[in-house]
């Protein structure tokens, strides 16, 4: 009988190297289009950048108070890339792009570790690479991309251990799981899923239980020790503790089931969209071997998703906010669009979002069917343990994705952003691929063409949307620098958008008003002190445009604009009075989005 060495025992190194080189080349070419560099923050990464900057300048890790995650791994990684030339968002962005590519490679290796064909490994890795949110956030210093690659690499080693019993793979997987958990708490899902899968394979015994518990115990221990250190040194951010409280409080609320169902529907929509290229292959393989069961699951799944769409109220995608917005890739963090909701940035055609919604609903049905049939086939093998190595590994990956989602789905917070669903993508892709049999030869070509076509369309959306997002942000910061230099405007007198005011004026003591309806607030909630000047995409009541910067927007094609606005002087009483104009609500003379 042929024996299998611990590492590289069935993955041909040359073909793997060629495939990953091709993937890296394709991915790198797209970066020429997006132009990821520019020394300015994006989304929340200003807060993480401040921590890295403080570490570089003072040798001290000190969270700003805006974070609700451990962050230490993330900051150290950014710090390493900042050493050669000092702090800059270019260096931080390069650090994320590097880890993002490593995550794409790890996804390829994970599929190959499950003994799946190289074309499927390539498809799954490219599906992750061009998932619109993953691709867009790869161009930032947000934590939503840097920590998933660490968990994927850890999963490669855990799968290796489940297949071969390798002690080295167990050690490396555990170390990486600890590192990922010290970036974001939800990375604990991977070692917990491994512990369950390990016991399912080896059986319930004291030795097996102790060995299975080591990775999650070390992760939890590291997390608690780190939290204790933060508290003891007066570094523990308030949101960090608040997140934990919200999760445990949600578990005791009577309406948690309804909240779970609502959030599950939204999560399934996004995951169905992102995973569709891989799900086509999975459904084809299931259809060939379990056609009757697949039909039952599909009918049930489609019915459930349609009912969910009807209950949602606004069924068209995007249904969750933050990265994917009506106009493409966001967020559009300027007052006129984000708070006043003025229609200054053209949305993509309704037909586009109708097509995406249809794909998302169908993909969600495929995902439910794939997971449901996988469970149907695997549950009878749990006791006595009769799963083969690949099935155990696939179970581990599916559990990793599901355990990760649980805390998100029970939360009734209004801030369940679309980007939170991305870390589950590689686990569901690999898990479903692992339990799928090979596609019948007659269907292989059709499946590849369909998957390739969808991947191409999704890639165009991701690349063009990210390029537009960076383009207007680059112009925004050019306008801000000109405003401060040519007009000598003070930072304290400018509402330059969330990132600008966060970077320059963040104050943990500042009372934030984060209501759903913020349009009638006199100032933006993002630490604005004075709003003599504002940056926007168009006219705002009570302000005059004093300068306009144009840029080419690709999706949808048009000439976009970022404008500098100055507050109008108040009218004198004898003019008839129009003071209310400068604080008029958005719908006074502008159409709502």
Give CA torsion, residues 483, 485, 491, 497, to 10 deg. 40
Q: Largest Cα–Cα distance of the chain, in whole Å?
A: 99
Residue 258 confidence class, pLDDT cut points 50, 70, 90: confident
- Span 96-148, pLDDT tens digits: 999 999 999 999 999 999 888 888 899 999 999 999 999 999 999 999 998 99
Q: Do 498 and 554 have their domain in common?
A: yes
Residue 593: inside a domain: no
Q: Do 208 and 142 have their domain in common?
A: yes
Q: N- to C-terminal Cα distance for the chain?
A: 67
What are the CA-CA distances from residue 37 to residues 34, 176, 398, 497, 561 (Å)?
9, 29, 36, 20, 20
DSSP line for 307-326: HHHHHHSS-SSP-S-SSEET
Q: Do 125 and 215 have their domain in common?
A: yes
What are the CA-CA distances from residue 319 to residues 218, 273, 353, 402 (Å)?
37, 12, 11, 21
Residue 472: HSE in the Cβ half-sphere, 13 Å Cα cutoff:
30
Q: Do 445 and 477 have their domain in common?
A: no
Strands 324-325 vs 328-329: parallel, antiparallel or unpaired: antiparallel
3-state secondary structure of 129: helix
Q: Do 51 and 91 have their domain in common?
A: yes
**Structural domain for 339, as ranges:** 13-467
Residue 139: inside a domain: yes
Taking the whole predicted model, whether its pTM rises above 0.85 is answered as yes
Whether residue 349 is predicted with pLDDT greater than 90 in this model: the reply is yes
Residue 567: inside a domain: yes
Structure tokens at 454: 């969808």
Mean pLDDT value across residues 302-315: 76
Q: How many domains does the chain have?
A: 2
Residue 561: inside a domain: yes
Residue 4: inside a domain: no
Q: Do 417 and 551 have their domain in common?
A: no
| 63 closest CA partner among 184, 236, 227, 179 | 236
Mean pLDDT value across residues 380-386: 68
- Span 192-206, pLDDT tens digits: 999 999 998 888 889
| 278 closest CA partner among 144, 431, 72, 413 | 431
Supply the pLDDT for residue 94.
97
Percent over 90 (pLDDT), the chain: 65
Whether 70 and 183 have beta carbons less than 8 Å apart is answered as: yes
Q: Do 115 and 178 have their domain in common?
A: yes
DSSP line for 423-465: GGHHHHHHHHHHH--PPPHHHHHHHHHHHHHHHHHHHHHHHHH
Q: Do 431 and 483 have their domain in common?
A: no
Q: Which helix (H) or strand (E) holds 466?
A: helix 441-486
Q: Is the dihedral of CA 34, 38, 43, 48 positive or negative?
A: positive
Whether 472 and 553 have beta carbons less than 8 Å apart is answered as: yes
In the DSSP assignment, the letter for residue 204 is S
Q: Do 226 and 190 have their domain in common?
A: yes
Q: Do 135 and 239 have their domain in common?
A: yes
Query: Average pLDDT over the chain, rounded to whole?
Result: 87
Whether 284 and 443 have beta carbons less than 8 Å apart is answered as: yes
Query: How far is CA 150 from its chain centroid?
Result: 14
3-state secondary structure of 198: helix
Q: What share of the chain is helix, strand, coil (3-state, %, to 5)?
A: 65, 5, 30
In the DSSP assignment, the letter for residue 575 is G
Residue 438 CA to residue 441 CA, distance in Å, equals 8
DSSP line for 232-286: HTT---HHHHHHHHHHHHHHH-TTHHHHHHHHHHHHHHHHHHHHHHHHHHHHHHH
Q: Do 497 and 565 have their domain in common?
A: yes
What are the CA-CA distances from residue 72 to residues 140, 182, 223 (Å)?
17, 6, 11
Q: Is 273 left (phi over 0), alpha (psi -120 to 50) or beta?
A: alpha
Determine how many CB atoms are found less than 10 A away from the CB of residue 252: 7
Whether residue 343 is predicted with pLDDT greater than 80 in this model: the reply is yes
- Span 155-212, pLDDT tens digits: 999 999 999 999 999 999 999 999 999 999 999 999 999 999 999 888 888 999 999 9
What are the CA-CA distances from residue 229 to residues 61, 425, 586 (Å)?
11, 33, 46
Supply the pLDDT for residue 437.
61
Mean pLDDT value across residues 363-368: 92
Mean pLDDT value across residues 277-305: 79
Residue that terminates a domain, selected from 426, 444, 467: 467
Whether 531 and 495 have beta carbons less than 8 Å apart is answered as: yes
Q: Do 201 and 338 have their domain in common?
A: yes
Radius of gyration, alpha carbons of the chain: 25
Residue that terminates a domain, selected from 467, 498, 517: 467
């Amino acid at each position: 009988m042929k024996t299998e060495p611990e590492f590289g025992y069935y993955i041909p190194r040359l073909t793997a190297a060629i495939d990953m080189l091709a993937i890296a080349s394709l991915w790198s070419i797209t970066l020429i289009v997006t132009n990821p560099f520019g020394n300015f923050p994006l989304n929340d990464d200003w807060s993480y950048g401040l921590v890295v900057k403080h570490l570089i300048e003072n040798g001290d890790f000190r969270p700003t108070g805006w974070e609700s995650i451990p962050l230490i791994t993330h900051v150290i990684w950014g710090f390493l890339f900042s050493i050669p030339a000092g702090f800059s968002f270019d260096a931080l962005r390069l650090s994320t792009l590097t880890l993002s590519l490593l995550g794409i490679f790890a996804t390829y290796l994970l599929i190959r570790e499950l003994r799946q064909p190289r074309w499927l490994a390539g498809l799954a890795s490219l599906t992750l690479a061009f998932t619109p949110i993953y691709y867009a956030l790869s161009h930032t210093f947000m934590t939503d991309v840097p920590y998933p690659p660490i968990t994927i690499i850890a999963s490669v080693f855990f799968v290796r251990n489940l297949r071969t019993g390798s002690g080295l793979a167990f050690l490396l997987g555990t170390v990486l799981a600890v590192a990922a958990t010290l970036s974001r708490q939800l990375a604990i899902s991977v070692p917990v899923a491994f512990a369950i899968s390990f016991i399912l394979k080896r059986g319930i015994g004291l030795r097996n239980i102790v060995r299975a518990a080591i990775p999650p115990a070390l992760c939890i221990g590291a997390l608690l020790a780190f939290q204790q250190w933060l508290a003891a040194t007066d570094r523990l951010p308030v949101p960090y503790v608040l997140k934990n409280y919200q999760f445990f409080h949600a578990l005791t609320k009577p309406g948690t089931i309804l909240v779970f169902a609502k959030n599950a529907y939204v999560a399934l929509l996004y995951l169905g969209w992102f995973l569709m290229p891989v799900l086509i292959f999975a459904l084809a393989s299931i259809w060939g071997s379990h056609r009757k069961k697949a039909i039952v699951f599909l009918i049930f799944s489609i019915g459930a998703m349609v009912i969910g769409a009807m209950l949602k109220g606004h069924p068209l995608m995007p249904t969750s906010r933050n990265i994917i917005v009506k106009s493409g890739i966001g967020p559009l963090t300027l007052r006129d669009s984000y708070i006043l909701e003025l229609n200054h940035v053209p949305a993509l055609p309704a037909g586009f979002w109708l097509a995406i919604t249809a794909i998302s609903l169908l993909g969600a049905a495929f995902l439910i069917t794939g997971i449901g049939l996988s469970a149907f086939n695997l549950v009878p093998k749990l006791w006595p343990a009769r799963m083969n190595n690949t099935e155990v590994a696939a179970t581990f990956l599916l559990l990793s994705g599901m355990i990760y989602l649980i805390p998100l789905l029970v939360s009734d917070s209004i801030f369940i952003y679309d980007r939170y669903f991305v870390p589950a993508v590689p686990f569901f892709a690999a898990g479903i691929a692992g339990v799928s049999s090979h596609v019948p030869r007659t269907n292989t070509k059709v499946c590849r063409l369909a998957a390739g076509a969808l991947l191409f369309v999704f890639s165009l959306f991701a690349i063009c949307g990210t390029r537009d997002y960076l383009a207007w942000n680059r112009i925004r910061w050019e306008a801000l620098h000109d405003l401060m230099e040519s007009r000598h405007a003070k930072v304290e007198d400018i509402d330059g958008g969330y990132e600008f005011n966060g970077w320059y004026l963040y104050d943990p003591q500042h009372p934030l008003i984060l209501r759903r309806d913020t349009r009638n607030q006199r100032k933006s909630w993002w630490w604005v002190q004075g709003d003599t000047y504002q940056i926007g995409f168009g006219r705002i009541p009570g302000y005059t445009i004093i300068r306009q910067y144009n840029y080419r927007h690709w999706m949808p094609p048009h000439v976009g604009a970022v404008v500098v606005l100055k507050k109008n002087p108040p009218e004198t009483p004898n003019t008839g009075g129009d003071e209310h104009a400068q604080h008029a609500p958005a719908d006074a003379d502008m159409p709502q989005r």
